[in-house]
């Protein structure tokens, strides 16, 4: 079974698309995606000059986008829009730098008709970089 491209599910577009591909997808339950950082991304020159580092808030956004793929792949939510409702227990564990690939997994722990929750972990080569509990609301576009 081939997986959809993130662009087929998400309304996000570059430069604000922070997932390159999906590698695992169980709609409404679990999703894993990846984001390869080439070093050419728009934020690296200013964050930080001489020591480019992926901003933590963009790691968190990548978690949200991958989670949104898991929600939007569920037929009852196709074409809807999951919006961030909150993030809790956010922890940044390591820096992510150009040339690395961020592997992002989100388990959807609750998925109701208008809102849900999930737990996400972003890692590099098996080492956790960011983790968070996510809350989202689902609206019409």
12 as an active site residue: the answer is: no
Whether the Cβ atoms of residue 59 and residue 124 lie closer than 8 Å to each other: no
**How many whole angstroms from its chain centre is CA 6?**
10
Instruction: Quote the tokens at residue 80.
Output: 């809807």
Q: 57 preceded by cis ω (within 30°)?
A: no
Instruction: Quote the tokens at residue 25.
Output: 């997808």
End-to-end CA separation in angstroms for the chain: 29
Whether the Cβ atoms of residue 103 and residue 34 lie closer than 8 Å to each other: yes
Q: Which of 12, 36, 47, 119 is catalytic?
A: 47
Mind telling me the catalytic residues?
47
């Amino acid at each position: 079974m081939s997986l959809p491209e993130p662009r087929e599910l998400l309304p996000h577009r570059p430069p604000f698309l922070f997932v390159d591909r999906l590698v695992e997808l169980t709609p409404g339950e679990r999703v894993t995606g990846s984001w390869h950082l080439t070093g050419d991304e728009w934020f690296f020159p200013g964050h930080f000059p001489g020591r480019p580092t992926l901003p933590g808030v963009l790691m968190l956004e990548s978690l949200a986008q991958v989670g949104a793929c898991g929600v939007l792949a569920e037929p009852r939510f196709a074409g809807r829009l999951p919006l961030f409702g909150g993030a809790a227990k956010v922890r940044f564990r390591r820096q992510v730098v150009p040339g690395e690939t961020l592997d992002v997994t989100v388990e959807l722990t609750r998925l109701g008709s208008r809102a849900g929750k999930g737990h996400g972990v972003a890692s590099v080569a098996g080492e956790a970089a960011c983790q968070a509990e996510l809350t989202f609301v689902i609206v019409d576009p």
